[in-house]
Amino acid sequence: MPTSENEQVHGASTEAVNLLKRNSDDVGWEYGVLVDANNKDKVRCNLCNKEMRGGIYRLKQHLAHEGKNVTKCPARTQQASEAKAKCKKALEDAKRKREEKTVRELELRAEVDVSSVGESEEVTCVGSSQPHKLGPIDKWTRAIDPTASKTESLKQQQLNKELWKERSNEVYKYIARWVYNHAIPFNACDNDDFKQMCEAIGQFGPGFQPPSDDLLREKLLEQEYARTKSLMQERQAEKLKNGCSVMTDAWSDRKRSIMNLCTNCAEGTEFISSKEMSDVSHTSEVIFELVDKAIDDLGPENVVQVVTDNASNNMGAKKLLLEKRPQIFWTSCAAHTINLMLQGIGNMPRFKKVIDQAKAFTIFVYGHTRTLNCLRYFTEGKEVVRAGVTRFASNFLTLNSMLEKKDQLRKMVVHTRWDSLKDVKSKKGKDTTATILSPTFWKEVKLILAVFEPLFKVLRLADGDVKASMGFIYGELLKAKREIKEVFGNNETQFKDVLAVIEKKMKGRLDSPLHLTAYLLNPHYSFTNPSIFDEPKMNEAFIACVEQFYYHDEDKQDQAANIELKKFQNREGAFSKKLARTFENFDYNPASWWRLYGSHTPALQKMATRILSLTSSASGCERNWSGFEGIHTKKRNRLTTARLEKLVYIQFNNRLLSKREKIKIKKTTDVLLSSDTTEVQGFLQEGGDDCALVVFRDEEDEDEMEGTGIPWVVIGEAVGAEEQLERRRSGRVREARELYEGEEFSSEEEEYESDEDEDE
């Protein structure tokens, strides 16, 4: 009995400490807690027990011995020294980020200059009856107030804060009114283009007349289209040097069907054009003609491969293209193929049972207002359902989210608050409670996550647009298979069915001569494991790839296959340098490696740099569909195809340029092999009470979600284009139901018939 009481006391104290810890990765929370869970401002230092106000920032100053208005932590232990170093670094990093943001803001404003266009910098008002135009000196003056007391008049002004506070607030009201009345996403105001627009209007001064709708749809559209096109011309040098991939995909709504074309090179994806396809079937011949014309426009010598999904009409177009252009590769989309792997594994009886239980739980909870409110109470407002790039990625993210909240969910279903809900007393409610309390369920969830995670990482690799993935896709799939074997303890009877699904989907898709050659020519793999060169499968694939790449050039074929590959294998010349064996840096790029060290093997160098600069997925081509949907809506459905294409061209390519610029500035960590699930394209965006709950289509990422035209936060998975246009249906109920199409679903608000799953 005493032992039991001690355990209860210990458990209660642990729970109390957890309540006082913020769910944050800030280093300060390693050394402090909240004094009161309801007061986020008052914290206590764990090293000296001093309580202070000012939140975690003040605690870090206290530990780092920084700042004038805070006492230094008197602790002198080794832990105190580590805390001092960590907190000091955190404060310096935060200061550096603020300075970088300030510099960036100044650079953005400096780029805007409308004073020299049409008139001099000093603009004077016409007529004395006009109000005086504000100038720079007005920032340092105050209006005379005869009613002010002597004390107030002598009080020192806080110039930037006080003089312009009321005036700025008035401007904010007009901006807010426009945002609210026209459903502009709130994060659209935290955008470089918006800031530059405000600066341009401010420089112009009073009397600015906004553009008419005719100007916006004609002259200004043409000007912005031309400007964007000129910016994209900078990528032509990369296409000429290392070639590019052509990607195609179709988009349809109730009135039209559009086939779009994109290119991808080392600089990223570029939308080039779209074509109205409403009056024709998407046959192999039609797709071939569209792709063939794009290749002619880009120059056949600049196109290395065409990437599409695995649909039969695309495979038919592949045969037609190989007959006309045998030197160009046609590959299957890796993201689509890996999605099929996840689908096949998820449909295996052992895994499907657990996934169905998790589905039943989320559908039940999100299908009733009371259960949803109870869930959010115990999870402190955090959602359980997570959206991913595909339905099966969503399964992984949602299961992972449930596992992270396991203790909260178990506490919820045994609490009187949950038991008091009448919905819980139904059969589905009892099943939900039993699922959460079942140790077997959580054990199987851990197993599914362990099996899905390796493939999920490869899916993110294929779907990323930061670095070319062709050189990594096959090697990472082999690594994923090894990790899955380890999950099952290398017991063949346990893992053979899972690997059979992976190998079946890989065959003829992700083990083509192009994929295997990219794997062979990536020194990250071949230098680490030289036995790759001795595998007959690799040698056959390499020879086939050389023959296709240097079609009708037998001299180059002989030079690359019979002479230069041996030098690469034996690490002769520059390949033997110590620096050539360094692959650990996250900026490692195999194409750049070949440009640096492969100059003495010119034929192999050209082939390697072009192949290793390729993408392995057509996801970039699909990302602009949300642009089409955001532009072509029920209220805006009379746009001509040409105008729609220009709007998408401007929006998609400018976002791409902005994204690439941010990557260069921030020097973000490598997305390809990272395990941080926050980089996944579908994730919860902060917004709280100001957001609507919205379900998006498949394969949309954060950038695309910003273009939907309403404040949002993702809580569910994707649906088709037709459903996307019908958002007004009972919002919350539809979210949970559409997350798992085809599931039996009911709610106290409304019932809908199940839709049939769309099987790719």
pLDDT digits (tens, 9 = 90+) for 715-744: 333 222 223 223 323 333 333 333 333 333
What sign for the dihedral angle of Cα 392, 619, 325, 562?
A: negative
DSSP designation for 48: T
Say if residue 683's pLDDT is above 60: no
pLDDT of residue 158: 54
Say if residue 365's pLDDT is above 50: yes
Place of tokens 């190989």: 322
Say if residue 679's pLDDT is above 60: no
Which stretch of DSSP H or E encloses residue 275? strand 268-276
Dist CA 428 CA 360 (whole Å): 8
Number of neighbouring beta carbons within 10 Å of residue 87: 26
410 three-class SS:
helix
Dist CA 658 CA 602 (whole Å): 35
pLDDT of residue 545: 95
Dist CA 445 CA 462 (whole Å): 25
pLDDT of residue 123: 39
Residue 80 burial by CB count (10 A; 0-12/13-18/19+): exposed, middle or buried?
A: middle
Cβ neighbours of residue 676 closer than 8 Å, sequence gap 6 or more: none
How confident is the model over 74-103, as pLDDT tens digits? Answer: 998 989 999 999 999 999 998 888 888 888
How confident is the model over 589-599, as pLDDT tens digits? Answer: 899 999 999 99
Percent of the chain topping pLDDT 90? 34
What sign for the dihedral angle of Cα 592, 596, 597, 600?
A: positive
pLDDT of residue 205: 80
Distances (CA, A) of 680 to 25, 35, 235, 393, 666: 19, 35, 26, 9, 18
Dist CA 265 CA 610 (whole Å): 9
pLDDT of residue 729: 31
pLDDT of residue 122: 42
321 three-class SS:
helix
Residues 436, 358 contacting (CB under 8 angstroms): no
Number of neighbouring beta carbons within 10 Å of residue 135: 10
How confident is the model over 606-623, as pLDDT tens digits? Answer: 999 999 999 998 877 765
How confident is the model over 144-180, as pLDDT tens digits? Answer: 455 555 555 555 555 555 567 777 888 888 888 888 8
- Average pLDDT rounded to a whole number, residues 109-114: 68
pLDDT of residue 239: 78
Residue 717 tokens, joined: 């998975």
Residues 251, 257 contacting (CB under 8 angstroms): yes
- Average pLDDT rounded to a whole number, residues 550-556: 92
The CA angle 588-594-596, to the nearest 5 degrees, is 85
pLDDT of residue 25: 79
Residues 62, 50 contacting (CB under 8 angstroms): yes
pLDDT of residue 666: 57
If you compute the radius of gyration of the chain from its CA atoms, what whole number of angstroms results? 30
- The residue among 432 and 266 whose pLDDT is bigger is 432
Dist CA 314 CA 400 (whole Å): 35
**pTM: predicted TM-score of the whole model, two decimal places:** 0.68
pLDDT of residue 270: 83
Strand pairing report for 692-694 and 712-714: parallel
Residues 59, 31 contacting (CB under 8 angstroms): yes
How confident is the model over 367-408, as pLDDT tens digits? Answer: 888 999 999 999 988 888 876 656 677 788 889 999 999 999
- The residue among 510 and 463 whose pLDDT is bigger is 510
- The residue among 130 and 348 whose pLDDT is bigger is 348
pLDDT-based confidence at residue 757 (cuts at 50, 70, 90)? very low
Dist CA 397 CA 401 (whole Å): 6
pLDDT-based confidence at residue 19 (cuts at 50, 70, 90)? low
- The residue among 143 and 457 whose pLDDT is bigger is 457
Q: Which of 219-228, 489-498, 515-524 has the lowest mean pLDDT?
A: 219-228
- Average pLDDT rounded to a whole number, residues 690-706: 32
